[in-house]
Structure 1
Amino acid sequence: MSVTEFARTGRVFQVWSYDPAHRQLIIRSDPSRLDGTTTRVEVYFGHVECMLLRPTYRSLRVRRASPAEFRRVSDVAGIPAEDGESTYLIDPEGTSFVVSGRPSWREAERRRSDPTLFDFSREWPPDFEARWGNVDG
């Protein structure tokens, strides 16, 4: 499922992993009794060129930066104009961003100890119920 924006409010998301050798970033929210959730949500960014992140977010809103938003983050981070179409804002306020390939998301009922939903050595779709998609912008 392709969407122009991926948003989840009322959940705690964390920068879960970054692999500099493969330039892959995963931001993740695990199930929590505090927020009444039973699913894990993961957002994957591949081919990461640049990022400005906080370690934790109370909500996530992943979308392609508008031209005005791109100018603002480009001024701060010195992102070249050709990366405008690859710049994704990730928080509701638009203060954090990732310059990358098209983000993907996956959501499923998983325990904290289960492997990442983006374990590329495993078949997808999985044999358990899951939802997934891409952010096209």
Structure 2
Amino acid sequence: MSINVWLDRSDQLVAGAEIFRSHRKFQWWDYTPSHNQLLLRCDGGSVWTRVDVHFKAVSVMKLQSNYNGLHIRCATPSERDRIQSETPGITYFDPESSEFDLGCRYFILDDGSGGIDYVVAQAIGWHEYHDRGQPGCVTTQAAPMPAEDRIRYRHIYVVLGLAFGPEPHVYGTFLTRGEAEHTRKLLADRYPDGTFTIDETPVRV
């Protein structure tokens, strides 16, 4: 199962409307200041799906580190006014005054405990997908290669694995077969039920 939702238009984000609800536990997972993007995440656990809730172009936020159940809705006009009064140093842009319907959307986060948190952002979206504990890319630390020697390499070696689903996963790309073989062996030892191979791919230089 894979579910993708992205909401960034005024006709999708009506004042007071509920837009997301889950009984599962979410954490404040990441914030990227350079792009003003916020990520709340619910790991797979026993239900084997992960849910990522993304906020794009965040202006201001008031959040908890964890939510035992997450309910997100669009703010009412009175809640919007309250947020603005609490953050007088922030300049808010109204989407109705934008030719392209861009501006600040006010999202209320309610965990059922009576408190109200909020995020003011341009858009919100979420992605629900299978989380089977798939490991990340395994890499090795190699010494820097002199630039003049790189012309000797006419191939790259891609380590592929089939261990956590019907589709293969790329675990690393290397300049030498020796490095790729080392990584393949590490993966095979760590995940004995999986199948890991090396794909030699020609590179134009």
* TM over 0.5, shorter chain: yes
Letter in 2 for 1:100: A
Letter in 1 for 2:106: T
Higher strand fraction: Structure 1 or Structure 2?
Answer: 2
Question: 2:21 maps to which residue?
Answer: 7
Which segments of 5 or more consecutive residues in structure 1 lack a partner in the other structure?
A: 116-126, 129-137
The reply on whether 1:43 has 2:53 as its aligned counterpart is: yes
Question: 2:191 maps to which residue?
Answer: none
What is the DSSP-based 3-state SS (H/G/I as helix, E as strand, rest coil) of the residue aligned with 2:45? coil
Letter in 2 for 1:46: K
CA gap of 1:73–1:8, structure 2 versus 1, over 3 A, is: same
What is the DSSP-based 3-state SS (H/G/I as helix, E as strand, rest coil) of the residue aligned with 1:22? coil
Residue 101 of structure 1: how far off its partner (Å)? 1.3
Over the residues paired in the alignment, what is the CA RMSD in angstroms?
Answer: 2.8
Which segments of 5 or more consecutive residues in structure 2 lack a partner in the other structure?
A: 96-103, 137-165, 168-205
- Structure with greater Cα Rg: 2
- The structure with higher relative contact order (CA 8 Å, sep 6+) is 1
Question: 1:58 maps to which residue?
Answer: 68
Q: Which residue, 125, 144, 163 being the options, matches 1:104?
A: 125
Letter in 2 for 1:87: Y
CA contact (8 A) 1:30 1:112 kept: no
TM-score by length of 2: 0.48
CA gap of 1:41–1:114, structure 2 versus 1, over 3 A, is: farther
The reply on whether 1:22 has 2:43 as its aligned counterpart is: no
Q: Which residue, 62, 78, 81 being the options, matches 1:71?
A: 81
Hey, which bits of structure 1, 4+ residues long, moved more than 6 A? none
TM-score by length of 1: 0.68
How many matched pairs? 113
CA gap of 1:38–1:80, structure 2 versus 1, over 3 A, is: same
Superposed CA offset, 1:47-86 (max 9, x none): 1111111110111112211101112222223355645951
CA gap of 1:54–1:112, structure 2 versus 1, over 3 A, is: farther
What is the DSSP-based 3-state SS (H/G/I as helix, E as strand, rest coil) of the residue aligned with 1:68? helix
* Percent identity (aligned): 32
